[in-house]
Amino acid sequence: MGKNHMKMFDLIIIGGGASAFGASIRADELRAKTAMINAGLPLGGTCVNVGCVPSKTLLYAGEIMHLARNHGIPGIELEVKKFDFRKVVQDELALVETLRNEKYSTVLKGLEHVTFMEGSAQFVSSHEVEVSGETIHGEKIIIATGSTASVPPIEGIRDAGFVTHIEALRLEKQPNELVVIGAGPVGLEFSQMYSRFGTNVTILELLPTIFPASEPELVDRLADILNREQITIKTGASAQRAWKNRGRKIISFTVGGKEDQVSGDEILLATGKTPNTAGLALEAAGVTI
């Protein structure tokens, strides 16, 4: 298609999360003709949909339950009379939808110079992108596609089945026992969240300590808190194989050369992130990672 018949933009933004929105708002202020292309997560990206908003909502619910049971103030007796996991999750998802509409969808509709295009983008050249069968041209292009949870190379993990933080925010049934692989911020956050809901949690961490990027003094204090909350932590644990048996999911792992195994109703993978760049045809734009 020649440029005479192609939609021309000053700026093309690939992605619909926080970075993409920040760029689109600034571009609109500068009156730059802009196309925003989004696929995958709904508008708002990670934070509002599957990150800080829903996770902190569930963490707060867990904190309320924890304080009711463990406030430690003499003369005050409290109890949690009822805990409806499904209702708590439904309320969290309703909040996510409300904020997504108020903070993103409504804002986007008010950007005079920004055209929203829903679909998967693919580079045709360094200045041309194809979306939904249409090729558009941009003088500048911003790639703001974010990342998604990575899946470690554990034998049988896909057949056994697992969830990432994304699915763990939307479960309809609370697991009685949860195996968390990874003890970074996400793994620890979800471990404590579900433990305070009443789930028995076991954490497997490959490195010698939990939260390895943090200060040793903080790590020791955090490990002590989690242990007192009856979360089982196994460090130096290398997950080897996963399988299902009578509806339960089992992970075999080694610690110091000795093999052991742990089972649960669900496995949560929290082993880092991988960029959402597959399918963009970055090579057509001369981009290398």
Q: Is the pLDDT of residue 288 over 60?
A: yes
160-177, pLDDT tens digit by residue? 999 999 999 999 999 999
Q: Residue 4: which pLDDT band, with cuts at 50, 70 and 90?
A: low
- The HSE-up count of residue 36 (CA atoms within 13 Å, CB side) is 30
58-116, pLDDT tens digit by residue? 999 999 999 999 988 999 988 889 999 999 999 999 999 999 999 999 999 999 999 99
Is the whole-model pTM more than 0.85? Answer: yes
> How high is the mean pLDDT of the chain?
95
- Separation of alpha carbons 216 and 209, rounded Å: 9
Nearest to 194 by CA among 51, 65, 52: 65
Q: Residue 69 contacts by C-beta under 8 Å, 6 or more apart in sequence?
A: 78, 79, 80
Q: Is the pLDDT of residue 259 over 60?
A: yes
Q: Is the pLDDT of residue 1 over 60?
A: no
* Predicted pLDDT of residue 77: 87
The more confidently predicted of residues 41 and 151 is: 151
Token couple for 114: 């920004």
Other beta carbons less than 10 A from residue 84's beta carbon: 10
CATH 2.60.40.10 assigned to 1-147+274-289: no
According to DSSP, the residues that pair with 232 across neighbouring strands are 202
Asked if 37 and 129 count as a contact pair (C-beta separation under 8 A), the reply is yes
Asked if 93 and 123 count as a contact pair (C-beta separation under 8 A), the reply is no
* Predicted pLDDT of residue 213: 87
- Separation of alpha carbons 139 and 162, rounded Å: 42
| DSSP, residue by residue, 221-253 | HHHHHHHHTT-EEEESEEEEEEEEETTEEEEEE
Token couple for 231: 């979360």
- Separation of alpha carbons 178 and 199, rounded Å: 7
Percent of the chain with pLDDT over 70: 99
- Locate all alpha helices (DSSP H) within 198-268, ordered by sequence: 216-228
According to DSSP, the residues that pair with 252 across neighbouring strands are 241, 261
* Class level of CATH domain 151-271: alpha beta
Residues of the chain with CATH 3.50.50.60: 1-147+274-289, 151-271
Residue 18 in 3-state DSSP? helix
